[in-house]
Chain A
């Protein structure tokens, strides 16, 4: 029963994060509004973070923090390396989103529209 739950959890998290990545890429590739493209990129970000965290999971794991009561739980601790990497990645993703949005503001100021169809230089 417990194993079954773990399988479901694993499929849910891996499948969910991969589908988040795909949904974000779909939005970034097909949508016409610049804001929606930036939102798509953020969704890709979220999916990748979830996937990385899920890889580090250990069955019945605890957080890799040696707070009182958990000093001897080294065997059950989840992998701290992906978590540290994701902490970095979240900050970088935030910076990328901020710069992308500022570019969108700049484009809107220049062209008075957010649709990439109406901005001639941005078609593909």
Chain B
């Protein structure tokens, strides 16, 4: 009975969704003119950043990204708060069973490469697909691999929270530096350089590198908290 109601409800929702979306983009692009052209134009002419999405996320909507990073930070804090019991002993886990020597040797081999890839992705965030969030996530997967493979692999929560607060504070400071230089919050105040160079785009790569560090630290802390959760 309840399933029938749910299916009926979803059928109505689905009908209206299909009805409103199927005619979109039948002739040409969905949005003919609009904010898209402004972004594509300004990205090249003013910011000299190759990746338009990076310029939107970090510069045009930089304040929004600050909020997003704050949400991530709040999620990590809430997770720690909800799962908190007492001080964990290092190396004690209930969630996982010991891993095989193959996994251990393989993850030791792969770990530096994964971290290097993550760093590459967030340093080149303004030139190629990628950026702080993606690179940070890749680094966190490397730490996840190490935590799964080694029983005694531990990351210090103090170091993680230091990196996190350092990156967050410098993000806000760069925002205020833009105001101090005579613009708005997170306004670009450094020389933009030439396009498609590694050192170009003013504060955009710097902010994205900070975001990368912050995301990597937060996700690693999150994984660590969940993996070291003990059964009561």
Interface set of A (CB-CB < 8 Å, partner B): 10-11, 14-15, 18-19, 21-22, 25-26, 29-30, 51, 55-59, 63-68, 71, 74, 77, 79-81, 83-84, 87-88, 90-92, 94-96, 98-99, 101-103, 105-106, 109
Contact = CB atoms under 8 A, between A and B. Distances in A.
Contact of B222 (A11, A21, A63, A98): A98
B82 A103 contact: yes
Contacts of A58: 29
B79 A99 contact: yes
Nearest to B39: A80
Given A26-B7, A81-B36, A59 B22 contact: no
Interface in B37-77: 39-41, 43-44, 50-53, 56-57, 61, 64-65, 68, 71-72, 74-76
Contacts of B61: 84
Contacts of B57: 84, 87-88
A64 B133 contact: no
Contact of B31 (A79, A101, A103, A109): A79
A14 B23 CA distance: 10
B100 interface: no
B51 A65 contact: yes
Given A66-B195, A88-B65, A29 B6 contact: yes
B209 interface: no
B8 to A, nearest CB: 11
Interface residues of B, number: 57
B214 to A, nearest CB: 11
Nearest to A80: B52
Contact of A109 (B26, B78, B196, B232): B232
Contacts of A84: 53, 56-57, 61
Contacts of B133: 87, 90-91
Contacts of B43: 66
B121 interface: no
B29 A79 contact: yes
B212 to A, nearest CB: 13
A80 B196 contact: no
28 contacts: A10-B25, A14-B22, A14-B24, A18-B21, A22-B10, A22-B17, A25-B13, A30-B3, A30-B6, A55-B21, A55-B30, A56-B31, A64-B53, A65-B51, A66-B50, A66-B195, A67-B128, A67-B196, A77-B40, A81-B35, A87-B57, A88-B64, A88-B68, A91-B68, A91-B71, A96-B75, A98-B222, A99-B78
Contacts of A103: 82
B98 interface: no
A33 to B, nearest CB: 15
Contacts of A51: 21
Nearest to A112: B232
B207 interface: no
B129 interface: yes
Interface in B202-232: 222, 226, 229, 231-232
| Interchain residue pairs A-B with the least CB separation, the first 9 | A95-B75, A64-B52, A84-B56, A80-B52, A58-B29, A66-B50, A102-B82, A102-B79, A29-B6
